[in-house]
Amino acid sequence: MKHPTRIHYTETDKTLMWVRWQKGESLHSIARHFGRSHSSIQGVLARTGGIRPPQRRRSCRALTLSEREEISRGVFAGQSLRSIAATLGRAPSTVSREINRNGGRRRYRASKADQCAWDRGKEMADHQRFSLDTNVKVYFCDPQSPWQRGSNENTNGLLRQYFPKGMDLSNVNQNRLNAVARQLNERPIKTLEYRTLAERFSQCVASTN
C-alpha cells in the first residue's frame, strides 16, 4: 500500500498562504496555487486559529552574533570567562553557559552557536504553541455531570452570541466559521488576566530568543 508523502511548506510558502487568506481567498483557491488539497492548507492556518502568527524576533536579552564572535575570539586567545564577560558587559555565567552548550572551548564557533540558539528558540516556541493550543481548545462538557454543567452552559452561551439557538447551520460557510474563530481568539479572557488568546500566543513567541 502506497502511503502519501508528507508535505513540507517553506516559510515563504506559509507567508504567501497568509497573505492570500487575509485578502479573503478561499482554501480551495489557495490550494490550487500550490497544487495541493484544501485540507493541507487548512492544517497550516488552523494551527493558530486562523490568526497569522507574529514574526519571530530575537529577545533583547539574547546574545547577538557579534557578541558570540567576541566570545570566539576570546576563547581562541585563551582569555578567562570573566575577562570575556567584562568585555561584553555580560555575567560570567552567561558566557559559561554559552560556551558549554556549544561544544566547549575547543569546538565553540560563533556562527554555529548563533544558528543553534535560533533553532532552540523555534523549538521552544513550537512547544509553547502546542501547550497553548492544548489548554485553550473549546470543547463541550457532559451536560449530565453537575460539576461540568457550568462550563457547558458558559460555552453554549458564548457560541450562541454568534449562532443563536435554532439557527440553521447548513448555510454557515467556512469563511464565517473562520471569522468567528478569529473573534473568539481576540476576546479578553478572565483566566488570562483579561488578555486575549492572540496576545498570549504573541507573548509566548516574543519571549523566545
Q: How far apart are alpha carbons 105 and 85 in whole angstroms? A: 15
Tens digits of residue pLDDT in 150-201: 444 455 666 777 777 777 776 777 777 777 777 777 777 777 777 777 777 6
Asked whether the whole model's pTM tops 0.85, one would answer no
Distances (CA, A) of 23 to 16, 43, 69, 182: 11, 18, 43, 15
Helix axis angle, 27-34 relative to 11-22, nearest 10°?
150
The answer to whether 186 touches 196, Cβ cutoff 8 Å, is yes
99 touches 108 (CB < 8 A): yes
Higher pLDDT, 26 or 92: 92
- pLDDT tens-place string over residues 59-115: 778 899 999 999 999 999 999 999 999 999 999 999 999 999 999 999 999 999 998
Residue 194 to residues 2, 66, 90, 108, 131, Cα–Cα distance (Å) = 49, 39, 36, 45, 19
Winning range, highest mean pLDDT, from 19-33, 127-141, 195-209: 19-33
Question: How remote is the C-alpha of 195 from its chain's centroid?
Answer: 17
Cα atoms in the Cβ-side hemisphere of radius 13 Å centred on 22 = 9
Q: Is the pLDDT of residue 129 over 60?
A: no
In what helix (H) or strand (E) does residue 185 lie, and over which residues does it extend? helix 174-185
In tens, the pLDDT along 42-56 reads 888 877 767 777 666
Are 151 and 2 contacting, i.e. CB atoms less than 8 angstroms apart? no
- What pLDDT was estimated at residue 157? 67
Kindly report the backbone phi and psi dihedral angles of residue 195, in degrees, each rounded to the nearest multiple of 5, phi listed first.
Answer: -95, 165
Cell of 188: 479578553
Residue ranges in 56-173 assigned as alpha helix (H): 65-76, 81-88, 92-100, 104-107, 110-136, 146-160
- Angle (CA) 5 11 14, round 5°: 75
**Cβ contacts of residue 84 below 8 Å, gap of 6+?**
70, 71, 74, 75, 95
- Taking 90 as the threshold, does the pLDDT of residue 23 lie above it? no
Q: At what angle do helices 81-88 and 92-100 cross, to 10 degrees?
A: 110
